[in-house]
């Protein structure tokens, strides 16, 4: 469920017509719904209300400070994978004690930043990282909580580029080596072993891979406790999918996901952490774009938009689908025809959809890409020297620009020509 619906013949974000945002802010522009963000976060709270837990929003999905503050004020923790994301979470008012630091390539500087600013735990992904984190913490006179990310070698049955739990993926340490790595961690100064971390991938639409992975996690927890490690916290990862196609079967609900967690690890008495990102923000956002031209080609028509692959990379990078809908509601029974929806970037890959069945649209008409709140604005670039796409947050009948579109002059001013040129 989201809060982007037609009212009076126009598509709205909550109570704000998207055409109004387009007129006042310009296009392309990302638009987020406060009501949808809030609802989705609270569904995860409800799913885990049977145990002590913390929902750590995956900042990589959407790192806008306003979005982070909104979720932080609701009680969310944050899962970060860089020093920059850590700084964003802190700038949004999230205390260090609610921030989990993940990622395979943490640097010495990032570790120091998090130790100084406060951290709930580091999710450690390799033995070299264990050694470096121990060195950093000990040099600062600190002891930091850690969980080791264990790779369970479970096929998440998702896109190859977002699968993280198979043996060939770069993430975590093999589950077969977990005992020796935990033994090493227990001996190193500056580290406090408190939990196990596991994450198998993103956009999962089947709960069975979770059940397999979490069953392995429960078995490992019992083994590690028998070895003398005080495992008090289980970080279950995230990755629950969303419906990118409105005509597809809906993915599992958070309450069903929570039940799998309860059935597999609920008897261990551990605090539970989960790291949802896409499932909270994905359907809470749309990318709003305006048609530049309708171009008639050889055997196909092209709808050329002012949004491009630099604004929304997912279709080019993952062959991802986003429902594209007109902002003016089509009349009942309106004819549709296939059209390729493309952007103005000088790449054939700048194609959002091929043969999309859409009603007649022409220059100046507005369209919205649904389910664009996750991995949209955060992955945007200035390719072809196109200014970064702005972001807007809607709450009821109000909206605010939460990241402005930079001018071309501001974009150029970041470059420096050396004095010898």
Q: Is 97 a domain residue?
A: no
Tell whether 120 and 246 lie within a shared domain: yes
Q: At 83, is the secondary structure helix, strand, or coil?
A: helix
Is pTM beyond 0.85 here? Answer: yes
Q: Is 75 a domain residue?
A: no
Q: How far apart are the first and last CA of the chain?
A: 56
| Longest Cα–Cα distance in the chain | 70
**What pLDDT does residue 163 have?**
46
Tell whether 121 and 231 lie within a shared domain: yes
**What pLDDT does residue 298 have?**
86
Tell whether 229 and 337 lie within a shared domain: no
Q: Is 51 a domain residue?
A: no
**What pLDDT does residue 165 have?**
41
Q: Is 74 a domain residue?
A: no
Tell whether 268 and 124 lie within a shared domain: yes
Q: Is 47 a domain residue?
A: no
Tell whether 293 and 344 lie within a shared domain: yes
Exposed/middle/buried for 385, CB within 10 Å: 0-12, 13-18, 19+? exposed
What element of type H or E holds 73?
A: helix 65-73
What percent of the chain is helix, strand and coil (3-state, nearest 5)? 35, 25, 40
- Give per-residue pLDDT as tens, 171-228: 689 999 999 999 999 999 999 999 999 998 878 889 999 999 999 999 999 999 999 9
**What pLDDT does residue 1 have?**
67
Tell whether 176 and 128 lie within a shared domain: yes
Tell whether 270 and 167 lie within a shared domain: yes
Of 246, 274, 302, the position where a domain reaches its end is 274
The residue among 304, 303, 316, 294 whose CA lies nearest residue 375 is: 316
CATH number assigned to the domain comprising residue 150? 3.20.20.10
* 47-59 residues labelled b (16+ CB within 10 A) or e (exposed): bbeeeebbbbbbb
Sheet holding 4-7, edge to edge: 4-7, 10-13, 16-17
Q: For the chain, what is the domain count?
A: 2
The residue among 280, 289, 324, 390 whose CA lies nearest residue 34 is: 280
Q: How many CB atoms lie within 10 A of CB 19?
A: 15
Q: Is 42 a domain residue?
A: no
Tell whether 313 and 347 lie within a shared domain: yes
* 157-193 residues labelled b (16+ CB within 10 A) or e (exposed): ebeeeebbbbeebebbbebeebeebbeebeebebbeb
Domain that holds residue 270: 103-274
- 346 is known as an active-site residue: yes
Tell whether 120 and 268 lie within a shared domain: yes
Q: How many CB atoms lie within 10 A of CB 269?
A: 11
**What pLDDT does residue 161 have?**
43
**What pLDDT does residue 157 have?**
55
Length of the chain: 421
- Give per-residue pLDDT as tens, 130-171: 999 999 999 999 999 999 999 988 865 544 444 444 445 566
CATH number assigned to the domain comprising residue 295? 2.40.37.10
What radius of gyration, in Å, describes the C-alpha atoms of the chain? Answer: 23
Please give the backbone phi and psi of residue 144, each rounded to the nearest 5 degrees, phi first: -110, 140
The whole-angstrom distance between residue 47's C-alpha and the CA centroid of its chain comes to 19
Tell whether 119 and 267 lie within a shared domain: yes
Q: Specify whether the backbone of 36 is left (phi greater than 0), alpha (psi in -120 to 50) or beta.
A: alpha
**What pLDDT does residue 155 have?**
67
What element of type H or E holds 388?
A: none
CA angle 130, 135, 141 (to 5 degrees): 120
Q: State the pairing for strand pair 271-274/351-359.
A: unpaired
CA distances, 40 to each of 44, 84, 411 (Å): 7, 25, 35
Tell whether 329 and 393 lie within a shared domain: yes
Tell whether 238 and 336 lie within a shared domain: no
Which parts of the chain register pLDDT below 50?
158-167
**What pLDDT does residue 159 have?**
44
* 350-368 residues labelled b (16+ CB within 10 A) or e (exposed): bbbbeebebbebeeebbbb
The rounded distance, in Å, linking the Cα atoms of 349 and 294 is 18
Of 254, 274, 294, the position where a domain reaches its end is 274
Q: At 116, is the secondary structure helix, strand, or coil?
A: helix
């Amino acid at each position: 469920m989201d809060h982007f619906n037609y009212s009076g013949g126009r598509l709205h974000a909550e109570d704000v017509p998207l055409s109004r945002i387009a007129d006042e802010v310009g296009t392309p522009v990302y638009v987020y719904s406060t009501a949808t963000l809030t609802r989705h976060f609270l569904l995860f709270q409800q799913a885990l209300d049977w145990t002590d837990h913390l929902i750590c929003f995956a900042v990589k999905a959407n790192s806008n400070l306003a979005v982070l503050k909104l979720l932080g004020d609701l009680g969310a923790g944050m899962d970060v994978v860089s020093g920059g994301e850590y700084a964003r979470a802190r700038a949004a008012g999230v205390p260090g004690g609610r921030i989990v630091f993940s990622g395979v390539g943490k640097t010495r500087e990032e570790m120091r930043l998090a130790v100084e600013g406060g951290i709930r735990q580091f999710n450690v992904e390799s033995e070299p990282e264990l050694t470096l984190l121990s060195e950093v913490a000990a040099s600062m006179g600190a002891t930091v909580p850690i969980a080791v990310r264990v790779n369970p070698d479970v096929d998440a049955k998702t896109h190859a580029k977002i699968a993280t739990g198979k043996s060939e993926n770069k993430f975590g340490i093999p589950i077969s080596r977990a005992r020796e790595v935990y033994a090493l961690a227990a001996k190193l100064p500056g580290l406090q072993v408190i939990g196990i971390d596991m994450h198998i991938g993103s956009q999962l639409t089947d709960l069975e891979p979770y059940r397999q992975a979490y069953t392995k996690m429960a078995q490992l927890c019992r083994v590690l406790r028998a070895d003398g490690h005080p495992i008090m916290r289980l970080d279950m990862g995230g990755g629950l999918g969303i419906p990118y196609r409105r005509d597809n079967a809906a993915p599992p609900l958070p309450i069903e996901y929570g039940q799998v967690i309860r059935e597999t690890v609920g008897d261990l008495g551990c605090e539970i952490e989960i790291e949802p990102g896409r499932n909270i923000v994905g359907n809470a956002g749309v990318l709003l774009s305006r048609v530049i031209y309708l171009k008639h080609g050889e055997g196909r028509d092209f709808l050329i938009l002012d949004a491009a692959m630099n604004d929304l990379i997912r279709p080019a990078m993952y062959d991802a689908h986003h429902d594209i809908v007109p902002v003016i509601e089509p009349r009942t029974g309106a004819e549709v025809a296939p059209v390729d929806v493309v952007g103005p970037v000088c790449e054939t890959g700048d194609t959002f959809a091929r043969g999309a069945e859409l009603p007649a649209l022409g220059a100046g008409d507005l369209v919205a890409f649904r389910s664009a709140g996750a991995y949209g604005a955060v992955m945007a670039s200035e390719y072809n020297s196109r200014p970064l796409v702005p972001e807007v947050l809607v709450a009821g009948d109000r909206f605010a620009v939460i990241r402005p579109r930079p001018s071309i002059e501001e974009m150029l001013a970041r470059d420096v020509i050396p004095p010898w040129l």
